[in-house]
Amino acid sequence: MSLQPPGDKRASLAGAVSLVSDGATVALGGGLSARLPMAMVRELVRQGRRGLHLVGSAHSIDVDLLVATGAVRRLEESYVGFEQDLGLAPAYRRAAEEGSIEVAESCCATVLAQLRAAEMGLPFLPVRGVRGSDIGRLHPEYAEVTCPFTGETLVAVPALRPDVALLHAPAGDRYGNLHLEQPYVLDERFAAASAMVVATVDELVSTDDVVAAGVTIPAHLVAAVAEAPFGAHPSSCYPRYAYDRGHLREYVSAAQAGGADLDKYLATYVSGGEESYRAAVGAARLAALATWSQSATAWRELFT
């Protein structure tokens, strides 16, 4: 990690995302349907970023959209998909089958060990699993080591230091103090292991407010923070909004069809910027996603 000097880190979304270079190793925060940094993902697409190397655990539309738009060269994620509910990730699957991306599938626990090595300034850490699994064959950089104390054979995995971690939080201050709610997934580890953290928040609040809620990621790890309302949509960002299952279904359907259907999705939701994105999703729909807290019935209704 690089400790950032104190100061006002506020940036526009475009300015924040411009800190990501072509070819960068990028860690995307959140996971599955929760707190994905979608406003930054859409902005990466708008800025035409290329050659990205994505690392992380279990992801869905964030990774698939970047693959669909040709932004990705290599992936080391443990899972990309839409769970049992909506199935395989269409663009990821197609690109992997065509051979147009390098897939070095990884494992949540291995990625965690690699990030911890980077946090500690160590060249590697050992893991107990992986041997016997073909996941190891996808990673020629792994090596077997013998424990000097017990004689056990373990698998050494190298430190993983992403160039940039893109994290979304419900709230943060101008200095980059971020409050997250569970699941934190790997965000805290990404923040400490990466060379730089770029964040979006649904709302910029006062330092007093973020301290009262609890600082999960401290300002000294954050290089830039941009306000992006509904910046995790269509994933969830509790306590503000639940995930938008209908929108995910619409994306999956467009990405499965590809071609004109995917182009239409991109024209409707991505090309025009975030204000245009929120307008296309619709104020009523966005407001409905915030009704989860009214009752268990209201919450459940969002998912039917």
- Nearer of residues 104 and 280 to other proteins, judged by Cβ: 104
Q: Which of 236, 251, 262, 265 binds other proteins (CB under 8 A)?
A: 236
Q: Is 133 a binder of other proteins (CB under 8 A)?
A: yes
* Shortest separation between residue 128's beta carbon and other proteins, angstroms: 6
Binding of other proteins by 85 (CB under 8 A)? yes
- Residues near 49 by Cβ (< 8 Å), separated by ≥ 6? 17, 20, 22, 71
Q: Which stretch binds other proteins (CB under 8 A): 15-23, 44-52, 150-158, 264-272?
A: 150-158
Widest CA span of the chain, in angstroms? 62
CB of 37 to other proteins, least distance (A): 15
Specify which residues 171 forms β-bridges with.
179, 203
Strands 197-204 and 164-172: parallel
Q: Is 227 left (phi over 0), alpha (psi -120 to 50) or beta?
A: beta
Mapping DSSP to helix (H, G, I), strand (E, B) and coil, where does residue 7 land? coil
Task: Compose the 42-81 pattern: x for residues touching other proteins by CB under 8 A, - for all others.
Answer: ---------------xx------------------xxxxx
* Given 40, 154, 166, 217, the residue binding other proteins (CB under 8 A): 154
- Nearer CB in complex with other proteins: 77/227: 77
Does 189 help bind other proteins (rule: CB under 8 A)? yes
Q: Strand order of the sheet with strand 143-146?
A: 124-127, 153-158, 143-146
Omega before 234 within 30 of 0, i.e. cis? yes
Q: Give the interface segment with other proteins, choosing from 21-29, 45-53, 82-90, 274-282 (CB under 8 A).
A: 82-90
Q: How far is the CB of 15 from other proteins (least distance, A)?
A: 30
Binding mask 108-127 toward other proteins (x if CB under 8 A, else -) reads xxx-x---x----------x
Quote the tokens at residue 269.
């939701």
Q: Smallest distance, Å, CB 180 to other proteins?
A: 11
Where is 44: in which H helix or E strand?
Answer: helix 38-46
Out of 5, 148, 182, 275, the only residue in the binding site for other proteins (CB under 8 A) is 182
**Are the CB atoms for 172 and 240 separated by under 8 Å?**
no
Question: Distance between alpha carbon 144 and the CA centroid of its chain, in Å?
Answer: 30
- The DSSP 8-state label assigned to residue 144 in this structure reads E
84 binds other proteins (CB under 8 A): yes
Contacting residue, 197, 222, 223, 242, with other proteins by CB under 8 A: 242
In 10 A of CB 31, how many CB atoms? 24
String marking each residue 194-233 x if it binds other proteins according to CB under 8 A: ----------------------------------------
Q: State how far the Cα of 211 lies from the Cα of 252, in Å rounded to an integer.
A: 38
Q: Is 33 in the site for other proteins (CB under 8 A)?
A: yes
> Residue 221: how many CB atoms within 10 A of its CB?
23
Helix (H) or strand (E) holding 179: strand 178-179
Tokens coding 244: 């938008």
Q: Residues in the site for other proteins, rule: CB under 8 A?
A: 31-34, 57-58, 77-81, 83-85, 88-89, 92-93, 96-97, 99, 103, 105, 107-110, 112, 116, 127-138, 152-154, 181-186, 188-189, 236, 238-239, 242-243, 245, 292, 296, 299-300, 303-304
